[in-house]
Each structure stands twice: as structure tokens, then as C-alpha cells.
Amino acid sequence: MMSAVAATVSIGGRPSWSTRVARTSLVFAALMVLVWLLVLPLIAIFAEAFRQGAAFFWAAIRQPDSIAAVRLTLTVAAIAVPLNLVFGLAAAWVMTHFAFRGKALLGALIDLPFSVSPVVAGMMLILVYGKYGWLGAWLEAHGMQVIFALPGLVLATVFVTLPFVARELIPLMQSQGSEQEEAALTLGAGGWQIFFRVTLPRVRWALLYGVLLCNARAMGEFGAVYVVSGHLRGLTNTLPLQVDQLYDENFSAAFAVASLLALLTVLTLGIKRLLEWRHGGELRRQY
């Protein structure tokens, strides 16, 4: 342990014996916290998933309900993530290139979904789009079902992941200013040309980063989706909802499905790390 610890901060030349001990114990304590709080649960997922062997694992994943859940999760993400990608770009464009009344309010609204409980978010959607909600009668008359159906899942997912891309882009575009866009304008470029040839190439990594986080959250969202889905097995069960239902019936099968999501998480974190390593300067790493 001692040899693995090398301090970057060396105040007053060689650290004394007591400082070295203090540092080592600090690092040790932090490692303990991380292992206990983060590593153990992660290991537990995979251990439980394979407790009854690989064959059982495969069977659990390949049962029709699980496959339907995977398909639904991918569908929801495939709709919600592009919606949020465009939303992030549009919001960042508005927030960074123009001065207008109510700009601060708009910024606060973009951030709002982060601090609202997902369960409350789902409930609010029911109050609007549910059978007895504001638009319920109108939607029913037009043969549209939102709650307990795909559109509801998408709406809930969009709500929960709304700020991800925008929050990544706004600080970056703010720091880059409008000068390059103005230069392109005086050179005769049109709006889309400016966007695709000047703005987009400069924010692409931050955009990818935001989309990555957005996607991870979209596929893993539980609370908001739980409320609006009605969890009809094979119909409106996304992967996390499937995990929840299996948990009461077949413990190991639940972990088998959960391990898929855990794998997605590990993959996401890996790519995230790679992006931070290669393009760290452009990325905002706070939530």
C-alpha cells in the first residue's frame, strides 16, 4: 500500500513520516468507502445473476418477456434520446446566441427536471395525459393512448433526461461565444451552414458525452416510467420494470436481466472515461 501511494503535493520537500502515514490512511479510507459503497453492489449483481449457472442465465434473458422488455427499452431510448439531442442543441442555441426576456427563467426550467422526483414527474404526466387528466378525454376521443402505452413511457423518459444534453452544451457554447458564428455569417453562410459547419464540429464531443449520459439514464429510468407504464408484462415493461417484476417471482432471473443493465452502465462509464481522457477540456463533468 505504502509504495502505491505517491503524493503529488509535496509541501516543504520530502514529506515527513507522519504525513506519509496520514496520506496512506486517507487513501485507504477512501478506497474502503468506494469498495464498500460501490464495488460490492456491482459484484453482487453479477454474482447473483450467475448463481444458478450460465444456462439459467441465458434462459432468463431469452424468455419472451425479457426480450420484449429489451425491445421496448431500445424503442423508448431510440425516440427519447434523439428528441433530447435536438432539444439540447436548440436550447443551447437559444440560450447562448441571443438576448431575450425571460432567459433566466428558461434556463431554470431546463434544469428543473433534475430536481423533481421521478415519481412526481410520472404523476404529473398522468394528471395531464391520463384517462382523467386534462387531455385524457380529448386523447381518448381521438383514439390515442398515452399513459400505460409507449407515448407515456417516452414522455416520462424525456422529462427525466431533459437537461442532460443542454447542460453539457450550454456552458461550452457560452465560453466559445458567438464570434465564429458571426464570422461565418459575414462570409455568407446561412443558418444551417453555420450550425453544421461551424457550431456542431466544435461541440461534437460534448454533445456525444451528453447523449451518452442521457441514453444511460433513459434506458435505466425506473421511478417515472413505473408510474406511467402500468407494467403490463410483455407490453409496457421496460428492462428496469421487468427486473422489478421478476424480483418478486424469480430472484436469480431478476439479477440476470439486471446484469444486462449493469453491463450497459459499465460500458457507458468506460466510454465516458475515454471521452474525458481524450476531450476533457470541452466537457463539463458536473451533474
Partner 1 sequence: MGIEISRLRRQFGQFAALDDVSLSIADGEFVAVLGPSGSGKTSLLRILAGLDQPDAGSVHRDGEDLLTLDARRRGVGLVFQHYALFPHMTVAQNVAFGLQVRPWRLRPRASAIKASVDELLRRVELESFAARYPAQLSGGQRQRVALARALAIQPRLLLLDEPFGALDAQVRVNLRRWLREFHRSLGITTLFVTHDQDEALEMADRVVVMNRGRIEQIGTPEQIYRHPATPFASRFIARGQPLPGNVEGATLRVLGQVWRLDGFAMDNVHAVAVHVRPEDIVPALRQGEGLCARLLSLRHVAGSVRAGLQVDGVEEPLEAEWSERDWGRHGAAVGDSIDIHFQALTIFGTDREGRVHARSECHPPHAASPVAVGPWRRLSAE
Partner 2 sequence: MTRHVLPGFRLSAGYTLAVLGSCVLLPLAALLWTACELGPAGWWAQVGTRRVLASLRLSFGAALLAATIDVLLGLLVAWVLVRYRFAFRRVCDALVDLPFALPTAVAGIALTALYAPNGWLGSRLAPLGIDVAYTRLGVLLAMVFVGLPFVVRTLQPVLESMESDLEEAAYTLGASPLQRFFRVVLPPLLPTLLTGYALALARAIGEYGSVVFISGNRLFRTEIAPYLIVQKIDSQYDYRGAAALGAVMLAASLMLLVAMAWLQRWTRRWAVLR
The footprint of partner 2 on residues 51-80 (CB under 8 A) is: none
Residue 167: name its binding partner from partner 1, partner 2, none (Cβ under 5 to 8 Å by kind).
none
b/e per residue 182-204 (b: at least 16 CB within 10 A): eebeeeebeeeebeeebbeeebe
Q: How far is the CB of 24 from partner 1 (least distance, A)?
A: 42
At 178, list the grid cell.
Answer: 458567438
108 binds partner 2 (CB under 8 A): yes
106 makes contact with partner 2 (CB under 8 A): yes
Degrees (nearest 5) of the Cα angle 226, 79, 120?
30
Q: Interface with partner 1 includes 175 (CB under 8 A)? A: no
Which one of partner 1, partner 2, none is in contact with 25 (Cβ closer than 5 to 8 A by kind)? none
Work out what residue 97 binds among partner 2, partner 1, none; the CB cut-off runs from 5 to 8 Å by kind.
partner 2
Per-residue binding string, partner 1, 188-207, x by CB under 8 A, is xxx--x---xx--xx-----
Contact 224, 156 (CB under 8 A): yes
H or E element, residue 184 = helix 179-186
Asked whether position 16 contacts partner 1 by CB under 8 A, the answer is no
Cell of 211: 447523449
- For the bound state, the minimum distance from the C-beta of residue 242 to partner 2, rounded and expressed in Å, comes to 9
Least distance in angstroms from the C-beta of 7 to partner 2: 6
Q: Does 258 bind partner 2 (CB under 8 A)?
A: yes
Give min distance, CB of 192 to partner 1, in A.
10
Distance between CA atoms of residues 118 and 251, nearest Å: 25
Report if residue 188 touches partner 2, rule: CB under 8 A. Answer: no
- The answer to whether residue 174 forms part of the interface with partner 1 (CB under 8 A) is no
Tell me the CA distances in angstroms from 233 to 65, 72, 241, one per residue in order. 7, 11, 9
* Contact indicator for 217, 264 with CB cutoff of 8 Å: no
Q: In whole angstroms, what is the distance from residue 259 CA to residue 46 CA?
A: 6
For partner 1, the binding residues (CB under 8 A) are 179-180, 182-190, 193, 197-198, 201-202
